[in-house]
Structure 1
Amino acid sequence: MARPKGYDPEEVVKRATYAFWQHGYQALGVRELERLTGLNQFALRSEFGGKEGLYLAALRFYSEQAISIAMEPMRDSGSIPEIIAFLRSLITDGSMTSSPYGCLVVNTGIENARVGSADLDKAARHYWDALENCFEACLQNALDAGRISTSTDIKAFAKGLVSAVMGVHAQNRLEGKNNAGRHLVDLLCEQLTAMETS
């Protein structure tokens, strides 16, 4: 009979998510990871396949939370106001998408330029593809409703918004403040409002 686990895998992933988000992937050693998650090295290997496996689990948890909750209003019936609300959430106290640590997915992309993990790259791209699809759907809804110009390049604009979101998170992380990227958010929201009213 298998011995019961002395830890809750879901709780470990939540703790690991916060630890990696705060400290980064490379800077967080295995011993410190053990201390912060309560997981020993044996369990880290057997349950998650090692440090990268735990990081991937944390990245999936973080991404799915953001996709299912923060992006939900933009799906299906979203339009320009929902994009603006999402952008504002990036710099709003108490928002799940606003943090002085930036965004775990943005941080992953930056670190992975050195690490070179195909798995980490795939996990990060899953998040950005989901966000781009949400932006594109909102813009298409606005176009179909006659609320923005028919000359708007929906795909290019959605890609640009994703790049801008990355920039907001990077600024938040750089300054260690959850609203450091507010100037870019203000600029984007003004542009979106002008698009809809012109």
Structure 2
Amino acid sequence: MGRPKQFDPDAAVEQAMQVFWRHGYGATTPQGLVDALGIGKGSLYNAFGGKRQLFDLALRRYLDLQNATVAQLLDGSGPVKERLREALHFIAQTDLADPDRRGCMALNSAMEFGRTDAAVTAQVQGMFDRMEGAFCALIEEGQRAGEIAPGRDAKALASLLLNTVNGMKLTARVESGPDRLRRVIDTTVDLI
């Protein structure tokens, strides 16, 4: 009979997500993971198979959290454009408040792996598709409510919003304050 696990695998994936998000995949060593998670190397390999498998779990967790956050921000009642503006401001404020300015783990991973890793590319594309779908649903709701012109292409506007969020996340990594992001948000919402 094997020894019981001395750690919570779910908490370990959460901690690993923080490590990979801060350092990226390439700069994260197995020893760095072991130290951060407070587990032995044997436990790391027995529980997760290795660094790459743990990275995949951590990236999936990040993507799920991001999609859930965006869906929650956009859901609700009230004028669609105001909900959109509030969601974009929340995203900007969250990124600017991060003392490490880690940016977006999905975008960081896409830049690190490029298109050389089909699994990472597919995960990031899946997040983009879900986020764009949430934006499209919000725009269609605004069209039904008369807030957004019904002749506008909802999918094209959703793609614009996805690209805006991705650009904001990159900008927030280097900005010292919120002014530029506020201008981007206000202009984007006004264009919708």
TM-score by length of 1: 0.84
Alpha carbon RMSD of aligned pairs, Å?
A: 2.4
Q: Is the 8 A contact 1:7 1:39 kept in 2?
A: yes
Q: What is the Cα deviation at residue 58 of structure 1?
A: 1.0
Alpha-carbon contact 2:95-2:172 (below 8 Å) kept: no
**Structure 2 CA distance, aligned partners of 1:176 and 1:34?**
33
Corresponding residue number in structure 1 for 2:135: 135
Counterpart check, 1:104 vs 2:105: yes
Determine the C-alpha separation between the residues in 2 that align with 1:130 and 1:185: 24
Instruction: Judge conservation of contact 2:70–2:131 (CA < 8 Å) in 1.
Output: no
Distance 1:192 1:112, change over 3 A: same
CA distance in 1: counterparts of 2:58 and 2:7, whole angstroms? 16
Structure 2 unaligned residues grouped into runs of 5+: none
User: Counterpart of 1:71 in 2: which secondary structure?
Assistant: helix
Deviation at 1:125, TM superposition (A): 1.7
1:168–1:54 CA distance, 2 compared to 1 (3 A): same
CA distance in 1, matches of 2:152, 2:171: 28
Displacement of 1:46: 2.2
Q: Percent identity?
A: 27
Q: 1:152: how far off?
A: 1.4
Residue correspondence of structure 1 range 27-38 to structure 2 within 5 A: 27-38=27-38
> Which amino acid is the alignment partner of residue 112 of structure 1?
F
Q: TM-score of the superposition, structure 2-length normalised?
A: 0.86
1:62 aligns with 2:62: yes
- Residue 84 of structure 1: SS of its match in structure 2? helix
* Structure 1 residue 41, shift from structure 2 partner: 2.7
8 A Cα contact 1:82 1:138, kept in partner: no
User: In structure 2, the residue corresponding to 1:90 is in which secondary structure?
Assistant: helix
Question: Take 2:189 and 2:171, find their aligned partners in 1: how far apart are those partners?
Answer: 21
Q: Aligned partner of 1:9: which letter?
A: P
Q: Which runs of 5+ in 1 are unaligned?
A: none
